[in-house]
Amino acid sequence: MTSTSKYLSAEERRAMAVKAVLELAAIQNPGEITTTEIAAHMGLSQGGIFRHFSSKDEIWRTVMEWVATELHSRVARAAESANSPIFSLEAMFMAHVAFAIEYPGVPRMLFGELPKTESTPAKIAVASLLERYGKLLTLKLEQGKSCGEVDCSISTEAAVALFVGTVQGLIIKAVLFGDVGHLRQGAPEAFALFRRAIRKSI
């Protein structure tokens, strides 16, 4: 099991690279991570990286794809775990926040991608993630309207935007002050307010 061989397989190295980037992004500006640093962090020479990735851009794409897949699967699993639309939304909210706490480098990476004007592969991955995420939220909100947990008069689209914005607002604050505590502490209160915004008025 414990491979004592010096040479690792290409797949192992690619997985190591993703992990290395995530760890480095947690402690420094992701935009300033160099291939030299990534290589050093995974016990490889700088040039050795290019045996497994054709370019630095391909490394980023791989990392972003891992993030999109992982976050979506966690949020989707959270959505299924609850037995009412509102509780599903709450579980999704908390799963998203928990992911940001577990991988503090990820929001920093995403914010770094935002300013780019070109449609980078990374940006496309984020946009597609946000779309799938939005569809899941739309479904839960519509279900909520059906069963009377959510007010039918509100715009579902606006509620989706508010949900995502609420999470992002918390994350931005945490990133800005470099303090994940803001996230853990603020999340329940933030969701409570979101719930007030969408609940059925009497």
* Site of interaction with its own copies (CB under 8 A): 27-31, 108-109, 111-112, 114-117, 123, 126-127, 130, 151, 154-155, 157-159, 161-162, 164-170, 172-173, 175-178, 186, 189-190, 192-194, 196-198, 201-202
**Looking at beta carbons only, is 1 or 202 nearer to its own copies?**
202
Among 92, 134, 104, smallest CA distance to 25 is for 104
Q: How far is the CB of 71 from DNA (least distance, A)?
A: 25
**65 or 70: CB nearest DNA:** 65
8 binds, among DNA, its own copies, none (CB under 5 to 8 A by kind): DNA
Q: What is the CA radius of gyration of the chain?
A: 19
Rounded to whole angstroms, the Cα distance separating 184 from 186 reads 6
Nearer to its own copies, 79 or 113 (CB): 113
- 82's contact among its own copies, DNA, none, with CB below 5 to 8 A by partner kind, is none
The CA distance from 202 to 198, in Å, is 12
CB of 102 to its own copies, least distance (A): 18
Site of tokens 């770094």: 112
DSSP letters spanning 104-159: THHHHHHHHHTT--S--HHHHHHHHHHHHHHHHHHHHHHHHHHTTSB-TTS-HHHH
Q: End-to-end CA distance of the chain: give it in Å, rounded.
A: 62
Residue 83 touches which of DNA, its own copies, none (Cβ within 5-8 Å per kind): none
- Minimum CB distance to its own copies, residue 93 (Å): 12
The token pair at 96 is 């998203």
Q: Point out which residues bind DNA (CB under 7 A).
A: 5-10, 13, 32-36, 39, 43-48, 50-52, 54-57
Q: Cβ closer to DNA: 44 or 75?
A: 44
**Cα 71 from Cα 137, distance rounded (Å):** 14
CA-closest candidate to residue 191, choices 64, 103, 93 = 93
As measured in angstroms, the least distance from the Cβ of 169 to its own copies is 2
Rounded least distance, CB 148 to DNA, Å: 54
